[in-house]
Structure 1
């Protein structure tokens, strides 16, 4: 699961680090390339919503492996193309099949790990984003320099196809599919929505969407927060390499190293957020989300104000932006899975995924158009989004229940 999702990330971000070469070799503008980012984000977000519901009823092994193989194929098709129209078609297809990666992971994480340990394990899985995200800036830039931008699309695609075949052989579905007891029963660690256990067995897709998601105010608040956080995350991830090249005269490789530090910071931020929410906040995700959201605001302002000629400081700032962003990026998903029944976890996180990648789509063409007019406006948008996300997550500070409250009988069913 970890390896598979890291490779999903390679094939999702391969285009990002080919962008400077698409501008120089094929003459595309930032706005045109932003359209491709928006296309991927919209199709990916819609796919997460649709396939989230399907993912609650589908074997995780097959679902994830097939998605990875197909994303690899469409990366290769992209590399054989030269027109904006074909780029958009193939990148939209890539976005759709990228949406087959997250739902099986949410299903596996909620079925194999109980609530009291889930934040820690989820955070360890979540760093697969950062492993893939740290590899692709360096690998993509190197491949583009050595073999042209097409090679930066071919190699991640080939890696994805072989990894998908590996997942078909090695990945497994839920404990129950192997004859094992449910994890909450095995560990005597009940879920927040534990008294829905009996009526969860025959839930239709409509039941899941209406009962646990569309009428759940906590899920809607998390969706708004996820939308805002993803504008920041994707804005930084997709555009700061170009920002550093254009405004600070860094080489593409140096800029790629700085963006890699964003992912490395996210690696540590995910781990700290997950473990601290489990062991210092009694499995309550709200306080940690809010604290990390404040860190996003502070570190973004610091990065914006660093003058040209200080790549080490830029790298340090990128590290702390990544550290702060990936805390709520991960824990918002954990909270969404815990505010519904675990059999609706993929649907819930898929619903949030649609909002998240609506935010990511906003970080595509709209942010690209703003950046065309000047990078100051770009940073004003990101800082505004980070401030709004902080306000939403402060409101959710006390959402959820602690393990101590569960043990004393004070837990309530928050999703109904």
Structure 2
């Protein structure tokens, strides 16, 4: 009998195998008729390196590799990769939702704690437990500690875990509020509220760091502005909640509630927040999905630049943002603290009408902050200019702020309707909180990740300087020039900051932006 592996007996002159032999394979054989390197298609012989290697059965559904049939393996691998990518994307979205919710509720608790004592102040004054001078001392202790710790918190967020910093600050703030409710000694209150103010500085720098790690630069401004709105939302709802508790159970119960809520939220944040997507084995939203290898390269670049804090402070762009931030924060603080005084003394408005103006300003700030983030994200993705697009939008907001200040000081009269007065307050709130949100975004995203916290801390320090200048120094200006003189000064500062942005486009391109 002729052996089965004899090619001459099995292969026809045209190189095909008759009698349904397409289901078999010929291995380790040679043939003169098969000297060309052909692949088996629809029952033909596949030959490699001078020998017949294999036969593919229905090769349209399979791939021949190393002499073996890989039927559908390529398609299966592609499908598995697609399924894996979808799973990773869904996991990333779940983490983003959970972390953002923790940050939103946690920062709302930060704001609630920061203002909880002021909600109880009228009751404490009525009970004779404090004097107006004592209230001023307590408030000053908190503000000074907050200004210092906000800068330190920004620097620390580049050095330690933002998750631990955020949770620890909220825990310490809640504990200080609880202890505040357990004593009636004004000196102890001043110390505890200084501790509270110091703890408050851990909040926003941690938020800024986590937002940059977990969210794409394409919609970073939107997430930032929505998160800042948590403070406005807390400032709107917490006074009513505090008033209800104080009326029903007393001032100490109000502070106990604020402290306990913060302690619970601190534990929840500690368990929910993750510092970096890499720790959860997830891709970084800050990197393109088609360039996973760039993550390691960016880490190496950051390590090379670890000692570049001095270079950061030498960047003209940082000083431009800081100057503009100082101007708008000074205007915002001045209108918040002295706006009611101006309306009552110069325009003859009632206390209720003046309070409505401030409330309208907060409402406008809520929507203005969100609008700024959404607007700058969309414009930045569509408009390409040799300048920072977000700063140009901030300049437009500052122009609107200047116009609002002009209307407040020179257009409104005692005969103006309350609707008009509140409308001016809403416009001022939107036009001031918008740039405040933008300057924070710009400072955090325009520098390397390992310096973003420091950059934000620096511009935040400038903002706090503006807040300080809006206090006693402006009151001195008002004595000399009147409150209209103060408003005129604020108009000049806001207009100058808008002009500074428009005339310095070359300074808007940072080292990081050039690399990108």
**Is 1:263 the equivalent of 2:362?**
yes
Q: Structure 2 CA distance, aligned partners of 1:367 and 1:32?
A: 22
How many angstroms does 1:221 deviate by? 1.9
Match of 1:250 in 2: 351
* Residue in structure 2 matched with residue 215 of structure 1 by the alignment: 314
Matching of residue 28 in structure 1 with residue 143 in structure 2: no
Q: Take 2:461 and 2:193, find their aligned partners in 1: how far apart are those partners?
A: 17
SS of the equivalent of 1:14 reads helix
Q: 1:131 aligns with which of 220, 233, 239?
A: 233
For the pair 1:337 / 2:444, whether they are aligned, the reply is yes
Pick closer, same or farther for the CA change 1:34–1:270 going to 2, 3 Å: same
Q: Partner residue of 2:270?
A: 168
**Does residue 190 of structure 2 align to residue 88 of structure 1?**
yes
Any conservation in 2 of the 1:284–1:400 contact (CA below 8 Å)?
Answer: no
Task: State the alpha-carbon separation in 2 of the partners of residues 159 and 309 from structure 1.
Answer: 43
Q: In the aligned structure 1, how far is the partner of 2:263 from the partner of 2:341? A: 29
C-alpha contact (below 8 Å) 1:4/1:164 kept by paired residues: yes
- Encode CA deviations 1:102-143: one digit per residue, 9 max, x unaligned: 111111121122322222222222211211222234334555
TM-score normalised by L of structure 1? 0.81
* Residues 27-66 of structure 1: pairs in structure 2 closer than 5 A: 28-29=131-132, 33-66=135-168
Match of 1:295 among 373, 391, 400: 400
Deviation, 1:87, is 3.6
SS in 2 for 1:183: coil
Equivalent of residue 453 in structure 2, options 324, 330, 346: 346
CA distance in 2, matches of 1:363, 1:158: 33
Q: How many residues align?
A: 396
Between Structure 1 and Structure 2, which shows a larger proportion of helix residues? 1
Deviation at 1:331, TM superposition (A): 0.4
SS in 1 for 2:275: coil
Pick from 499, 502, 508 the counterpart of residue 394 of structure 1. Answer: 499
Q: 1:227 to 1:83 in 2, by over 3 A?
A: farther
The unaligned stretches of length 5 or more in structure 2 are 1-102, 292-296
CA contact (8 A) 1:48 1:103 kept: yes
The offset of 1:333, in angstroms, is: 0.7
Matches of 2:334 and 2:371, distance apart in 1: 23
Conservation of the 8 A alpha-carbon contact between 2:399 and 2:498? no
Q: Is the 8 A contact 2:153 2:206 kept in 1?
A: no
Cα distance between partner residues in 2 of 1:395 and 1:349: 20
Structure 1 residue 187: deviation in Å? 4.7
295, 303, 322: which is aligned to 2:429?
322
For residues 248-296 of structure 1, the C-alpha deviation after alignment (integer angstroms, 9 at most, x for no partner) is 4435xx7666534322211211121112212224471111111111222
Whether the 8 Å contact between 1:36 and 1:364 is mirrored in structure 2 is no
Aligned partner of 1:286 in structure 2 is 391
Q: Could you tell me which residue of structure 1 aligns to residue 325 of structure 2?
A: 226
Report deviation, 1:99. 0.6
Larger mean Cα displacement after TM superposition, 293-302 or 44-53 = 293-302
Q: CA deviation at 1:53?
A: 1.6
1:102 is matched with which residue? 204
Partner of 2:334: 235
Distance 1:344 1:317 in 2: 38
Task: Tell me: CA distance 1:93–1:179, structure 2 relative to 1, closer, same or farther (3 Å).
Answer: same
Per-residue deviation at 1:43? 1.7
Alpha-carbon contact 1:219-1:339 (below 8 Å) kept = no
* Matched position secondary structure for 1:307: coil
Alignment check: 8 A CA contact 1:38 1:360 kept: no
Q: CA shift at 1:238, angstroms?
A: 4.4
Q: Post-superposition shift, 1:34?
A: 4.4
- 2:261 matched to 1:156? no
Q: CA RMSD in A?
A: 3.6
Larger Rg: 2
Post-superposition CA distance 1:290-313 (Å, at most 9, x none): 111122222234445353895444
1:177-197 C-alpha deviation (Å, 9 max, x unpaired): 2222333323579xxxxx976
Change (3 A) 1:243 1:78: farther
Cα separation, 1, equivalents of 2:413 and 2:124 = 28
Q: TM-score w.r.t. structure 2 length?
A: 0.67
From 267, 273, 277, the counterpart of 2:376: 277
